[in-house]
Amino acid sequence: MAKTLYRNGSIYSAADPFATAMVVDGDTIAWLGGEDAAERHAGTVDEVVDLNGGLVAPAFVESHTHLAALGRTLSGADLGAASSASSLLSLIAEHAQNSTNMVLAQGWDNSDWANQELPAETDLTSAVGGRGYYLARRDVHSALVNQELLDLLDLGHLTSGTIAGADHDAVREALTKTQKAEQEYQRLALEHYASRGFASVVEMAAPHLEGREALDQLLSIDSPKLPQVYAYWGELVADADHAQELAASFPAGKLLGLGGDLRVDGSLGSHTAYLREDYSDKPGQRGTLYLNREEIAAHLVACSSRGIQASFHVIGDGALDEVLAGFDLAAEQIGIAKLQMCRHRLEHVEMVDEATRARLLQYAIMVSMQPVFDQAWGGSNGMYIQRLGEERAASMNNLSAMLSAGVPMVLGSDAPVTEVDGWQVVRAGMNMNNTDARISARAAFLAQTRSTYRAMGEMNPYAGQLVIGAPATFAVWTASELAVQTPDVRISSWSTDARAGTPMLPVVDQEIPQCLRTVRAGVTLFNVLEPSESA
């Protein structure tokens, strides 16, 4: 492999915060330093890349994604731009022109429409030319379906319209049997991640989502020119032998754990997140509990007994109570130490109070959160307030409290629920609607780089860092301004004084950096840099 000098930029490195140049030798970072020393290296390398003031930083790691769904969205099946019933009809009619047999799309979210009424089934059926349709809500916990689709899937006993819960699961499961060409969408999604500065992604697969066949297709993609793929498989197990057998059925080193989108509840938008108290906009309803504490405990005991990480999807505070009750039952059977050793994980975890955070610490649970959810649904007129009222909504997604309590945390997008953009995640983390929930740019960045490798159990202590001897896995970014950014300089954990040597990140208040090159283990995944000079 070639030896390359990157110079005339900024290198994000705690080892040398003032470095402007970096030498990559094959798959390893060989040197960091300033311009004077870079000149001496120029004659010893195969290629010199002029960064023109750009930033070199560790590549992002996506902690929670759905690649096939993202690929379909990128292919045009995105309904996120709909702002009314009529615009949804227009979008789906346009998409239907490129579809055959049935029409599949997702992304609509009527919670911010002036008139939240959805189109009638007859109007939607007309818009798709009389074919069957499945139109998933943005959170993919409910969907619009027509009778034509149900008949096509041999599910005519279900009621068409808006479906959620078990009916939605049945439709999703039937659809997975009709989708055979998922790998095309998966590759498209991986290429998209590479273009956004990501070198690794964690797929959240489950029987009720794309299914095992689609996950096997994904894990068979093993190209060094695409981001590295890891996965969770959200299938419930009841005993240790089943857990071990299931985990062993995946390629070595690919499966991180049994869980991820192993749902304890649903979503707030679809009124299926399980709450302690009623929904504010649906009195008498508290959501859906898909797993009870006994099932959760059995899964934890089975996984922990074989050293396998378990993970659960949990959003509502009532669902989180049930999860922790499951941990209590499991601890009674195998002891708390075995649970702690496996570093079990919870996805989303949006409604956590102080007492519950202490329980997360008790069991050494790590959390995977998505701050752009707050950007999408928080605020004074957002969906969270519609569903929960002001008091409950104000305490959601408290990233700062998680970090302050010492709960290990990684951040991600849940793409395609929110877009693939690590810097948008940084911006959202710094600008949470609840000012007490905000974190620094550095904390949000580390939660998508170094911390994510730790969460995956990566053994290389240098992973996610730019230091000599570390893997050459990084991205090059446009960066008009760099700074040490905190949500409140009075409570900064890191000095904002340049003399302190704290590495600086792009200022994301106005302009989001653009990716110029992504490299994984020395191999270029994406590149729009000008042609480099040969040394």
Task: Compute the mean pLDDT over every residue in the chain, rounded to the nearest whole number.
Answer: 93
Model pLDDT for residues 379-413, shown as the tens digit of each residue: 999 999 999 999 999 999 999 999 999 999 999 99
Residues 38 and 152 in one domain: no
Strands (E), 372-520: 409-411, 474-477, 482-483, 505-506, 515-520
- Residue 195 has a pLDDT of 99
Backbone angles phi, psi at 97, to 5 degrees: -65, -25
Residues 23 and 120 in one domain: no
The boundaries of the domain holding residue 384 are: 259-455
**Domain assignment of residue 188, yes or no:** no
Task: Give the CATH number, domain containing residue 24.
Answer: 2.30.40.10
Model pLDDT for residues 2-30, shown as the tens digit of each residue: 999 999 999 999 999 999 999 999 999 99
Asked whether residue 449 carries a pLDDT value surpassing 50, the answer given is yes
Question: Structural domain tally of the chain?
Answer: 3
CA–CA separation, 257 vs 308, rounded Å?
A: 6
Boundary (domain end) residue, out of 125, 154, 176: 176
* Residue 80 DSSP SS3: coil
Residues 388 and 322 in one domain: yes
Residues 331 and 376 in one domain: yes
**Domain assignment of residue 220, yes or no:** no
Residues 378 and 415 in one domain: yes
Residues 38 and 159 in one domain: no
Comparing CA positions, the residue from 60, 26, 71, 74 lying closest to residue 46 is 26
Task: Average the pLDDT over 455-469 and give the result.
Answer: 95
Task: Average the pLDDT over 20-47 and give the result.
Answer: 94
Task: Find residue 106's DSSP bridge partners.
Answer: 78, 136
Q: What is the DSSP string of 138-205?
A: TTSSEEEE-HHHHHHTT-TTSPPEEEEHHHHHHHHHHHHTT---HHHHHHHHHHHHHHTTEEEEEEEE
Residues 279 and 131 in one domain: no
**Domain assignment of residue 238, yes or no:** no
Residue 195 tokens read as 């273009």
CA–CA separation, 262 vs 207, rounded Å?
A: 9
The lowest-confidence range among 98-112, 286-300, 494-508 is 494-508
- Residue 483: pLDDT band (50, 70, 90) is confident
> Residue by residue, what is the 3-state secondary structure of 103-149?
EEEEEECHHHCCCCCCCCHHHHHHHCCCCEEEEEECCCCEEEECHHH
**Domain assignment of residue 286, yes or no:** yes
Residues 361 and 472 in one domain: no
- Residue 490: pLDDT band (50, 70, 90) is very low
Residues 268 and 119 in one domain: no
Residues 358 and 418 in one domain: yes
**Domain assignment of residue 109, yes or no:** yes
- Residue 530 has a pLDDT of 76
- Residue 399 has a pLDDT of 98
Question: Before 224, cis peptide (omega within 30)?
Answer: no
Boundary (domain end) residue, out of 176, 206, 241: 176
**Domain assignment of residue 281, yes or no:** yes
337-369 b/e with 16+ CB inside 10 Å = b?
ebbeebbbbbbbbbbbeeebbebbeebbbbbbb
pTM of the model: 0.93
